[in-house]
Amino acid sequence: MTTIISQLLPADLAQAYRLEKQCHSHPWSPETFQTNQGERFINLKANINGELAGFAICQVVLDEASLFNIAVSPEFQRRGVARQLITTLSEHLIERDVMMLWLEVRASNLPAIRLYESLDFNEVSRRHRYYPTETGREDALIMALTL
């Protein structure tokens, strides 16, 4: 299985949206994908055998960046795709003299939290009742990685 990480292009957004709906209980809208493009963003995709396996959307502001969204196709989860996306993203951010990468993650998403911790992210804070759920709301953990 060869994973190729490259830039997520506007032509990829329809595929990314389909993947988003498979991966997230409360997915972004197609419009949100459109507005998270441009010079301030480093958006990456992972292709495996010509198929979109995952993506990461990251906004850069001065010397900080925020990972807004990351998704990996259920059939490719637990195979290192998210790790490769974040590692490649970190390399791009370092090249742009970014000092800190921030993200928010559902407090219930233990596999993602373990991944982020293994990549040296630290929990910085908690946003109470931030994410919608089927039955109410849940907390978000704010995590940061010093680059």
Question: pLDDT tens track of the chain, all 147 residues?
Answer: 789 999 999 999 999 999 999 999 899 999 999 999 999 999 999 999 989 999 999 999 999 999 999 999 999 999 999 999 999 999 999 999 999 999 999 999 999 999 999 999 999 999 998 898 888 999 999 999 999
List, as residue ranges, the binding site for acetyl-CoA.
Answer: 70-72, 109
Angle (CA) 145 105 85, round 5°: 60
CATH number at residue 141: 3.40.630.30
Rounded Cα–Cα distance for residues 113 and 104 (Å) = 10
**H helical segments located in the chain:** 13-23, 30-35, 81-95, 110-118
Query: In the prediction, which pLDDT does 103 show?
Result: 98
Residue numbers of the domain that contains 84: 3-146
Longest dimension (CA), the chain: 42
Query: In the prediction, which pLDDT does 130 show?
Result: 86
Contact 26, 108 (CB under 8 A): no
Dihedral of CA atoms 76, 82, 83, 85 in degrees, nearest 10, equals: 120
Contact 100, 66 (CB under 8 A): no
Residue type for position 73: S
List, as residue ranges, the binding site.
Answer: 70-72, 109
pTM: 0.94
Query: In the prediction, which pLDDT does 132 show?
Result: 84
Sign of the CA dihedral running 77, 51, 13, 100: positive
Number of folded domains in the chain? 1
Catalytic residues: 104, 116
Query: In the prediction, which pLDDT does 2 show?
Result: 85
